[in-house]
Structure 1
């Protein structure tokens, strides 16, 4: 018996399972989720949810949630598509707009699932290293003649925001659809939604997993011209957002926005405090507009392993273009950041001391 099924699609032979190798630890700062907990009304909604919400199918296309999301982002409901996390929107959109063999081009480093989604959908992935200022190399990306051009703002893992003139040129000159992933937009205050409302080839992808603290519910959404999101919705299909997720997301949008704004402010404040603490230790963190700090750290994989040995996890990114090895550290309540800093001091002393 072989590992490969005779009826399997050949293109799936090269598709890896996404596996970031995250063993449980006491303090996990690797996934940039909200470490302050649930928005209060959303939590109450979970506790009081009617049984009928579970025993019956959810709404077809989350029409009520689309209305609330549209009000939140400054769009109209017919310009919104929802999904099971922003991953679902990205995958469905690639299926909707990518012809077999056409190119998905992305700046690198960026979201690790993009080349995987491209492979899954029979598309050709082209990765282009970013420029030294952490902006995408748009000339090289456009030269790839992409059917789909993926950009991320703030970018994961660097935290850089896409310059508006770069985005506008991308939308103007791209031969196909431009995706802008705004998973961390709430922390930057910068968004392309207004542009997406004026053009027909820009899809903005967002999530309620970060600022809203609902990562376990997998609520993602896309914003774009009505014909654009309609095709994503066709690709995605009905009943893809479960009832619990829809009701909790609605509660957060309708009643918990003050809580969300307060904790976004806390995250930004603690991001800057963490960056300052790292600078005090002689490091040079990258300027971040998200809820994490990416900092160049020599032998980052080894430092990450030493941190895990102390019950703390940060995400190593070895060999980033123009930067080298880095650690990406999620921010949360300051006492958790302090716990990280103590472990980081010990871990770096162990790793660098062992080399001397």
Structure 2
């Protein structure tokens, strides 16, 4: 008989729907692809980079990220995507049985990470304006509070005043997920300088177009980062992914910024198109829109029949049924809109 952990009973694999369509707008990655400079490095990587271990704890990548963020390398840690760093943070600061408070709705992986780490997952409904409920989050007594801004799946952002009030009154760590920060008007990463209990995670999977290489990073006080690195382990990137990430953050940075502006323009145009169809997308600062739509799963299934894949949600807290649609090159958006119009008839 295989010995099992009782706390793992009922845990199923995180497995979002995987469907092959000609136009796939379901996972919020960069629909323009990857920076040409990064692609060149990927093609030219030497055999020795693959056959040998990378350096432990990614010092060269940290140095590059320090230049990109304006923080010293001692304030930065890296991981296998930002979700890996979220997982590491939970292990670093919470004992099994403790609580983690999370706005609802938000990044669905948090419930999974809470379960596998033996934590109590406490969802706190977003306010009607989709800002965080500061008092509700604090009332949980959780020693780690997670906030995603721009929030996935709503695309909405946390108010600066609300976040500062949360951080100042929180009994422990406030983990801010900025996976979509390159598409937003502003970041809150500066809070890590003035508040000792803030850790900000980010990723190169979205704006930087490197989702398949799994590179994320976190910014926080050196004493916080040191604890996360204990939970992280030494080899969380391949030598290939480190080199490609460095190229994207340096030579490829202008490409990333230009594509982010194009995505924001597509997002703006897409909002107007949805309004013309009679829908009201939530105000988004991510590279996607969430569109409340009764019967969204059925509509998404009909769109897949037309070779367009979008993410459907059913009964989302405070929203109901909805479609989440990634923004990208406008011809893709036109194809998606046509598939939607046909699917609504």
Common fold, TM-score beyond 0.5? yes
How do 1:79-158 residues align onto structure 2 when only pairs under 5 Å count?
79-158=75-154
| Corresponding residue number in structure 1 for 2:55 | 59
Q: Does 1:264 align with 2:260?
A: yes
| Corresponding residue number in structure 1 for 2:175 | 179
Q: Does 1:71 align with 2:67?
A: yes
How do 1:1-356 residues align onto structure 2 when only pairs under 5 Å count?
6-349=2-345
Secondary structure at the aligned position of 1:327 is classed as strand
- Which consecutive residues of structure 1, in runs of 5 or more, have no partner in the other structure? 350-356
| Corresponding residue number in structure 2 for 1:353 | none
Deviations, residues 63-90 of structure 1 (Å, cap 9, x unaligned)? 1111111221221100001000011100
- Which consecutive residues of structure 2, in runs of 5 or more, have no partner in the other structure? none
CA distance in 2, matches of 1:260, 1:230: 30
What TM-score do the two structures reach when normalised by structure 2?
A: 0.98
What TM-score do the two structures reach when normalised by structure 1?
A: 0.95
Deviations, residues 278-299 of structure 1 (Å, cap 9, x unaligned)? 1111111111101001111111
Secondary structure at the aligned position of 1:133 is classed as coil
CA distance in 1, matches of 2:301, 2:58: 42
More displaced stretch, 336-345 vs 11-20:
11-20
Secondary structure at the aligned position of 2:250 is classed as helix
Aligned residue pairs, count: 345
CA distance in 2, matches of 1:314, 1:280: 20
RMSD of aligned alpha carbons: 0.9
User: 8 Å contact 1:101–1:123 — kept in the other structure?
Assistant: yes
Secondary structure at the aligned position of 2:190 is classed as helix
Moved over 3 A (4+): none
More displaced stretch, 122-131 vs 311-320:
311-320
